[in-house]
Amino acid sequence: MTLPWWRDAVIYQVYLRSFADGDGDGIGDLAGLRSRLDYLVELGVDGIRLSPCYPSPQHDHGYDIADHTGIDPDYGDFEEFDDLLAKAHARGLKVVMDLVPNHCSSRHPWFQEALAAGPGSVERERFLFRDGRGADGSLPPNNWRTQFGDPAWTRVTEPDGCSGQWYLHMFDAGQPDFNWRHPDVSTMFDGILRFWFDRGIDGFHVSTAHGLYKHSSLPDWNGDFFNSYAWNQPEVHEIYRHWRCIIDEYRPERELALVGDLSVPTMIDLASYLRQDELPQGCYGDLLEQPWNPDQFRFSIDRAFAGISPTGATITWVLANHDVHRAVTRYGIIRHQGYHGSLDPVIGLIRPRGPVDVSLGERRARAAALLLFALPGSQYVYQGEELGLPEVLDIPDEARQDPAWFRSGALDPGRDGCRVPLPWSGKEADYGFSHGKSAFSPWLPQPEWFAKYTVEEQWEEETSTLSLYRNALRQRRKVFRPENDRITWLDVEGRHDVLAFRRGDVVCVVLFGDAPLFLPREWGSVMLTSVPMTRDRWLPNNSAAWLWTHTPSRSTSATRFREGWNARRQ
């Protein structure tokens, strides 16, 4: 049976603006990415997820799209895009793009037309315009708040110069939400999907996939953590049933990926998006919220298997992305300092505040990487995690760009710190980020300590985080078989600070605590550890190992199987 490639692919998330700059303007672009494709091949990933590179005023760095079928000149043009795609494919790398269907940019022609056409117009029906409350309409139509914590409605000035209607935006005011009850919206997105699939991309990562539809009467929200009128409406499933038909039109020649970024209250909700005729994949973001704690990790992993496996989908694991603090910093927090005000409590988990022990965080993040790659399913790796980069926490206020920081009145540290342009080489900024000599500084300032995290510094260094990732990805291909899609937990007597499981012939063990762990002989021989072992079979604190119980003859057939399986993938 032919298995779709995406079921167990490792996808590297490229945040284009910060990956590599090909034209020296201080902003990452398609040419920069193209020049680094060999790095990704050597790293050992199967494909890339490309953050939005469509024309955009960049109020939310590309997640505010003004034209869904164009390329922003900051990032390049179609010639460069096509060349990137061809070169990625020539190297065996898949390319998955971000699709943002919940909203567009306020510069989108439809929104501009809606502003000009005035209340009651057909043009306004493509968005969620409403009259305000109160005698003069000066109060917002309901009490909803944006994902950034502030009011979700903005009042417009009508063509006659008077204050007028309000429009809904669940993110920045520059990102008006579409009205998915209007047929023009779904027709436009059908065209967008086909446009990019026909251009040759391998799939879409659907941003805020649980959004799109809003409750038809837009009632006041009761203040619960999850606004159940704004998200996860039953009608949204129709969209995915329809998009599933679109991707199926390309089969069997092409197995297109369609992975939803889903943030919903329960696993039953999550599974409902993964029904046979809906999204083939949904990101499992729960681990992003878990602190360095074995019980919480285990609970989260079990929850994923219990909820997702019955749907037939594999699990799409995520340990970091462009919206959360880097793993080194999350796991290195020594004391959590809470948040106050109207912020969603999840922000305290994904972007925690508090003193950080960076070297401890580094050890833990390396251990977490081995755990991630041992799990059955697909994994998303956010750029820079393979370098063990910590979050840049001290970006000067005047350099900050993220609307999450501005709109929360600086309560939320925002996401700039995980988006600082990558360090490639050299001892000083821009650390090889811009190709050749650049007259411009990188769009976010890089700290001096980036010097020790460059690709150049880590490439040949056997003990570097980059070498660990390369090794782990190489070994993963060899020793894990896709049909071993379950794990069996192993108990270690008297140790509650250890998580260990068997997957096929491999045992993955993660030590969360400080006392070294003797690795039982029956687990097999040690194949890979996240930090060097100084005593035979003694796993040091806050680290992880893979052990193999394979006999040499079976090992050969496993490798052959895996290679054969890869050859059958398309």
Residues that bind ligand NOJ (CB under 6 A): 60, 63, 100, 171, 207-208, 322-323
Residue of 514, 472, 13 whose CA lies nearest to 292? 514
Taking CA atoms, 252 is separated from 3, 255, 523, in Å, by 11, 7, 41
Cβ nearer to ligand NOJ, comparing 60 with 344: 60
Cβ nearer to ligand NOJ, comparing 63 with 512: 63
Cβ nearer to ligand NOJ, comparing 180 with 548: 180
CA atoms within 13 A on the CB side of 236: 27
Cβ nearer to ligand NOJ, comparing 100 with 369: 100
Q: Please state, in angstroms and rounded to a whole number, the distance separating the CA atoms of residues 434 and 25.
A: 7
Least CB distance from residue 211 to ligand NOJ, whole Å? 9
Least CB distance from residue 395 to ligand NOJ, whole Å? 17
What Rg, from alpha-carbon coordinates, does the chain have?
Answer: 24
Residue of 155, 151, 132 whose CA lies nearest to 143? 151
Residue of 496, 499, 495, 552 whose CA lies nearest to 525? 552
Least CB distance from residue 44 to ligand NOJ, whole Å? 25
Least CB distance from residue 298 to ligand NOJ, whole Å? 27
Largest CA distance in the chain: 82
Q: Please state, in angstroms and rounded to a whole number, the distance separating the CA atoms of residues 330 and 291.
A: 7
Least CB distance from residue 162 to ligand NOJ, whole Å? 30
Least CB distance from residue 200 to ligand NOJ, whole Å? 24
Q: Please state, in angstroms and rounded to a whole number, the distance separating the CA atoms of residues 355 and 367.
A: 21
What is the edge-to-edge ordering of all strands in the sheet holding 525-529?
A: 488-490, 498-503, 506-511, 543-548, 525-529
Least CB distance from residue 76 to ligand NOJ, whole Å? 21
Cβ nearer to ligand NOJ, comparing 259 with 370: 259
Least CB distance from residue 275 to ligand NOJ, whole Å? 23
Task: Say if residue 535 is exposed, middle or buried (CB neighbours under 10 Å; 0-12, 13-18, 19+).
Answer: exposed
Residue number with the smallest Cβ distance to ligand NOJ:
63
Cβ nearer to ligand NOJ, comparing 171 with 453: 171
Least CB distance from residue 147 to ligand NOJ, whole Å? 7
Q: Please state, in angstroms and rounded to a whole number, the distance separating the CA atoms of residues 217 and 204.
A: 31
DSSP one-letter code for 434: B
Neighbouring C-beta atoms of residue 26, cutoff 10 Å: 18
Least CB distance from residue 208 to ligand NOJ, whole Å? 5
Cβ nearer to ligand NOJ, comparing 17 with 503: 17
Cβ nearer to ligand NOJ, comparing 322 with 330: 322
CB 45 within 8 A of CB 28: no
Cβ nearer to ligand NOJ, comparing 83 with 150: 150
* CA pseudo-torsion sign 263, 265, 268, 269: negative
Least CB distance from residue 260 to ligand NOJ, whole Å? 12
Taking CA atoms, 281 is separated from 18, 99, 260, 369, 428, in Å, by 26, 14, 6, 21, 41
Cβ nearer to ligand NOJ, comparing 353 with 419: 419
281 forms beta bridges with 259
C-alpha 5 chain-centroid distance: 19
Least CB distance from residue 257 to ligand NOJ, whole Å? 17
Residue of 7, 140, 90, 60 whose CA lies nearest to 402? 60
Cβ nearer to ligand NOJ, comparing 207 with 541: 207
Helix, strand or coil, per DSSP, at residue 559: helix
Cβ nearer to ligand NOJ, comparing 214 with 476: 214
Q: Please state, in angstroms and rounded to a whole number, the distance separating the CA atoms of residues 73 and 23.
A: 11
Least CB distance from residue 67 to ligand NOJ, whole Å? 16
What is the edge-to-edge ordering of all strands in the sheet holding 129-130?
A: 129-130, 163-168, 153-157
Taking CA atoms, 48 is separated from 3, 19, 34, 376, 450, in Å, by 19, 12, 12, 19, 24
Least CB distance from residue 441 to ligand NOJ, whole Å? 23
Write out the two tokens for 462: 């056997």
Peptide bond into 252 cis (omega under 30): yes
Cβ nearer to ligand NOJ, comparing 175 with 311: 175
Cβ nearer to ligand NOJ, comparing 257 with 508: 257
Residue of 243, 228, 229 whose CA lies nearest to 194? 243
CB 99 within 8 A of CB 205: yes
